[in-house]
Each structure stands twice: as structure tokens, then as C-alpha cells.
């Protein structure tokens, strides 16, 4: 499982002109799932993201999690994170999980984040989405359950 984590001042996902998910401050998560991912990867990633301390405390140090600052999560499925660009000019997406597996694990991931007390908004799995946000910092991390 691979997640691009971006600290955000605000974010929204629009599908066919309709806002389907939006947050104020918090984290934007671009979530990629590979066919090798297990329930253990999903639990590990949710725990890691929920506790990730990337918001500044009163001393300006990254010591606070999204929950500590009252932040929310905008989670967006992103199979293209597993695009392999090493050969040719068109990405190969063979490492991405099939939609039926990916959707179930994506939903389990979001449910695990909610169970940790975070408010989670989402995009629409498999849809063409317009994702807008203000990266705060900028702060962007890549978290990989296999690395």
C-alpha cells in the first residue's frame, strides 16, 4: 500500500460538477493499493497515518497529528501510484490491485481511520475526479507499507 500524504489548509473532490468530499485543514491522502496488499497492510497504514506528526506545535516543531490539531482527512483512491514508467512512454499499471480488491481495501482503510476518531471524507472510487487543495507548507510525504 502506498499513500501520498499532503498537509492541507483546505481540499475538495468534485465528480461531474458535484462536490463529493471536502475538508478544511487536515490531510489529503492519495491512496494506492497493489495486489500484494493484505489486511495487515491496511491496518498498518491507517495506524501510521492517524499518528503521523506533521503539524507544528507552539515551538514550530512537527509534533502534532491531524487529530491533535482538529484536522480531517480527504482520502482519494489513486491506482496510478503503482504506474511503472521504467520502460516505454506509457505507464504499466500491472502492479495496481484489481478494482474489486482495491475498493474493499480502500474502504477498510477509511473505516480504520474513522475508528481512530478522525473525520474522513472521500472521493468516489473509480470515478474521474477533480481534486483541489492548498498544500500547507508545503508538506508532502510518501508512506509505503512495503518499504
54: region left, alpha or beta (phi > 0 left; psi from -120 to 50 alpha): alpha
Write down the catalytic residue from 80, 132, 134, 140: 80
Output Rg (C-alpha) for the chain, integer angstroms: 15
CA 33 to CA 96: how far, in whole Å? 6
80 is catalytic: yes
Calculate helix-pair angle for 99-115, 39-51, nearest 10 degrees: 40
34 is catalytic: no
133 is catalytic: no
Write down the catalytic residue from 6, 34, 55, 78: 78
Dihedral of the CA atoms 74, 75, 78, 84 (nearest 10)?
100
- Identify the CA nearest to 55 among candidates 22, 7, 10: 7
Write down the catalytic residue from 6, 34, 55, 79: 79
Catalytic residues, by residue number, are 78-80
Amino acid at each position: 500500500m502506498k499513500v501520498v500524504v499532503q498537509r492541507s489548509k483546505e481540499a475538495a473532490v468534485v465528480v461531474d460538477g458535484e462536490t463529493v468530499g471536502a475538508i478544511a485543514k487536515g490531510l489529503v491522502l492519495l491512496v494506492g493499493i497493489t495486489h500484494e496488499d493484505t489486511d495487515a497492510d491496511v491496518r498498518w497504514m491507517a495506524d501510521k497515518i492517524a499518528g503521523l506528526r506533521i503539524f507544528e506545535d507552539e515551538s514550530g516543531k512537527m509534533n502534532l497529528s491531524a487529530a491533535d490539531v482538529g484536522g480531517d482527512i480527504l482520502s482519494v483512491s489513486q491506482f496510478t501510484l503503482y504506474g511503472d514508467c521504467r520502460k516505454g512512454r506509457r505507464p504499466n499499471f500491472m502492479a495496481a490491485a484489481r478494482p474489486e480488491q482495491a475498493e474493499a481495501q480502500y474502504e477498510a482503510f477509511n473505516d480504520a481511520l474513522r475508528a481512530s476518531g478522525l473525520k474522513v471524507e472521500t472521493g468516489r472510487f473509480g470515478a474521474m475526479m477533480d481534486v483541489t487543495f492548498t498544500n500547507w507548507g508545503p508538506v508532502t510525504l510518501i508512506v509505503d507499507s512495503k518499504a
